[in-house]
Amino acid sequence: MSIVDTPERRQLRELTRAFVTREVLPHLDDWERAGEVPRALHETAAKLGLLGIGFPESVGGSGGNLLDSIVVTEEMIRSGGSSGLIAALFTHGIALPHMVAAAGVGVGGSLGGRLGGTSTPGDDYLIQRYVRPTLAGTMIGALAITEPDGGSDVAGIRTTARRDGDHYVVNGSKTYITSGHRADFVTTAVCTDFPGSGELTLLVIDKGLPGFTVGRRLEKLGWHCSDTAELSFVDVRVPVANRIGAEDTGFLAIMQNFAAERLSLATQAYATAQRCVELAVRWCRDRETFGRPLASRQLIRHRLAEMHTRAEAARSYVHEVAGRVAAGEPVVTEVAMAKNVAVAACDQVVDQALQLHGGFGYLRDAEVERHYRDARILGIGGGTTEIMNEIIAKGLGL
């Protein structure tokens, strides 16, 4: 039996599919054009227990681990959702884990443990103030790491936080922030030493604080239903109680959460590939050319067989690595390989799926067109393919 094919996880799949069918599919095209999903969707997902999957019940979650989160992600896309929907609805998956870990509670398959070794005054406060309401769907959180001139260089962050009594004074800017427009708070990486020193701290910054400005809504190639923003901080005073863990533990916290984020993106990639195989098979069975179904032609059948093989192989490898992560194994290299394998499969499959759809595949009315656009970010987010290759090379001792 597959590690994600247990009776409980089959029920979780059924619940997820019913949610997508009832709450998402009738509205997804409208959300794509509006540039965001409604806040009410978060509350609906929370009431069903989907929003809190992978978070402990002790902090307001639904329990489960990384594998359960993978099941939900996979099934949402296989049911006709999209990776853009995942990005919009589950942004808390990258905004909250640092807070939960700082309070000494494991998230998903992590081992937990307090950052910096001891509890800080704000740790339990952050659980009550931000984690519980977000998992209940009444608040939305975002994660702000990337800066306009920083890209993947996390250690080079230049947004600063100067201690001033019971507050930090924050100055700097962030970009490409998923859910940045809708977010009520932003888990923000700041430098508590000189800019670019690598001495990072995580602060939870509330929208609406004086000096905190949410800039223009960024228009993107894909993920249209997921809002993306630029953020600016000018002398923003943030209470010390909003610090996550001890000072200067932010870099470690960010690195620890990368495994789950990268496996989520890998899941989105292979699930998108699987969905596109299903769409292509259906189209090729129904579409006739020169008096025969496309699927009757050997060339088409073999192309579909190759697409299916790539998608299923990627799925199997991601599941194998995810199982090891959930068991607490330090498999940094394997996580990087899993992401690259899944992204490569997705890139190949969605391209072929759109090609098989012909002119219809190029229209906004075609689901495969949305997947084609959405897929392009998966090799960039959470660490680019090139960064993953550097991690893999380091694992080889190079």
- Write out pLDDT tens, residues 35-87: 999 999 999 999 999 999 999 999 999 999 999 999 999 999 999 999 999 99
Is 334 one of the annotated active-site residues of the chain?
A: no
Q: Provide the pLDDT for residue 275.
A: 98
Banded pLDDT at 115 (limits 50, 70, 90): very low
Final residue belonging to a domain, choices 136, 168, 190:
136
Judge whether residue 114 has pLDDT over 90.
no
Q: Which of 32, 74, 261, 334 is catalytic?
A: 261
Out of 136, 157, 190, a domain closes at 136
- Rounded CA-CA distance 203/188 in Å is 5
Among the residues of 288-366, which ranges form H helices?
A: 298-326, 332-357
pLDDT at position 259 is: 93
Q: Stretch 217-224: mean pLDDT, rounded?
A: 96
Task: Tell me, yes or no, whether 2 lies in a domain.
Answer: no
pLDDT at 110: 40
Domain boundary among 229, 248, 267: 248
Question: Does the CA dihedral 6-73-351-290 come out positive or negative?
Answer: positive
Confidence of residue 196 (pLDDT cuts 50, 70, 90): low
Task: Specify the pLDDT at position 106.
Answer: 58
pTM exceeds 0.75 for this model = yes
User: Are 263 and 370 contained in the same domain?
Assistant: yes
- Most confident range (mean pLDDT) of 92-101, 151-160, 195-204 is 92-101
In tens, the pLDDT along 341-354 reads 999 999 999 999 99
Domain with 275 in it = 251-396
Token pair listed for 71: 């099941």
Average pLDDT on 267-290 reads: 97
The answer, yes or no, to whether residue 119 has pLDDT greater than 70, is no
Asked whether residue 320 carries a pLDDT value surpassing 50, the answer given is: yes
- Cβ pair 188, 149 in contact under 8 A: no
The torsion angles phi and psi of 355, rounded to 5 degrees, stand at -60, -40
Q: Are residues 43 and 178 in the same domain?
A: no
Residue 181 and residue 69 share a domain = no
Does the pLDDT of residue 152 top 80, yes or no? no
Q: Quick check: 277 and 304 in contact, CB under 8 A?
A: yes
Task: Please write the tens of the pLDDT for every residue from 231-260.
Answer: 999 999 999 999 999 999 999 999 989 999
For residue 327, pLDDT over 80 is answered with yes
Q: How far is CA 293 from the centre of its chain?
A: 38
pLDDT at 116: 42
Cβ–Cβ under 8 Å, residues 289 and 334? no
Q: Does residue 1 sit within a domain?
A: no
Nearest-angstrom CA–CA distance, 391 and 397: 10
pLDDT of residue 103: 87
Query: Is residue 302 over pLDDT 60?
Result: yes
Q: CATH code at 265?
A: 1.20.140.10
> Is beta strand 141-144 parallel, antiparallel or unpaired with respect to 185-191?
parallel
